[in-house]
Amino acid sequence: MSKAFLIATIACVAAVTLSSLIYAQKTQTTEQTTTGSNPYIGTPVDGWTGQPVPQTASQAATPVPRDDIFGVWDPGNGGIQAMGAAAMPEDGKPEHKLPYTPAGLAALNLTKPSNGARSVLPGETNDPVVACNPQGIPREDLYELRTTQIVQTPASVLVLYEYGKIWRTIWTDGRDFPKDPAPRWFGYSIGKWEDDYTFVVQTCCINDEVWVDRAGRPHSPDLRVEERFHRADSNTLELTVTINDPAMYTKPWIALNKLPFKLQSTHFDVMEMMCSPAELAEYNKFIGDPASDKGSK
């Protein structure tokens, strides 16, 4: 076994293990609030400090509020999606092979993800997020989707994400997409209520630096992303994401299928997950670059 392969393997295992341990600690703290091991039985905890916070999410069956997705929502482990979009991961299985056009397949071959069936060594990836660029849409939904806060105003819906500590605006004031807009990391989003419990968002105008997901799926300027936020009950929100890009794919495909979020206390302080250039440089110095040293034996 080459030294490079061994180091890469150790680095990958260490990264996955650390991520799992951190999330497990957060999950364990939450779970303890519903067991006899915690004096605050039934009390939710704060995402930042792990300390008990007041309970505002209903624990009993209550009527589902109409036209309402306001709140702090947590998708649990289902939002991580390290192998690509949860509904269509890049795991080599035939049923998860996407319907690429020739142009889409050519664009796919230009991406070098560090996870999935096409993964490369850490120092060889061209994943824009690794260089601390914003994830953008739809990737913000399809990789490291963590605790999310949604705020509703008379003219818009604001979505605040834990990963990157960033937000986006979804306009609900009846406007249409702008003509010839400059592309943006998070595109341009407009939303409307399809019924009392389903909020549908369409996003266009996404810049070409954004990957669809961690697996490096490509998109063209024609990409349209549909998000469906469905209030399944008073404490559950489901998110479905559909990718529609005729230049890259022969038909639309579902990237996320009814991912459930659970409502948290309004007193919940969402953690921050920031990409730090200084920490990235340290990682590359001691792990990423050495693991990618093809001259190592």
Domain ranges of the chain: 56-274
Q: In degrees to the nearest 10, what's the CA dihedral of 28, 29, 33, 38? A: 100
What pLDDT is stored for residue 56 in this prediction?
63
Residue-wise DSSP of 217-267: ----TT-EEEEEEEEEETTEEEEEEEEE-TTTBSS-EEEEEEEEEEE--TT
Q: Considering the chain, what percentage of its residues have pLDDT values greater than 70?
A: 79
What's the confidence (pLDDT) of residue 4? Answer: 43
Residue 232 has pLDDT above 80, yes or no: yes
Residues 162-167 have a mean pLDDT of 94
pLDDT tens-digit series, residues 114-127: 988 999 998 899 99
Question: How many residues in the chain?
Answer: 297
pLDDT surpassing 60 at residue 23: no
Tokens for 134, please give them. Answer: 């914003």
- Give the pLDDT band (50/70/90) at residue 43: low
pLDDT in tens, 186-229: 999 999 999 999 999 999 999 999 999 999 999 999 999 999 99
Residue 22 binned pLDDT confidence (cut-offs 50, 70, 90): very low
Report yes or no: 44 and 266 within 8 Å, Cβ to Cβ: no
pLDDT at residue 55 tops 90 = no
Provide the mean pLDDT of the chain.
Answer: 84
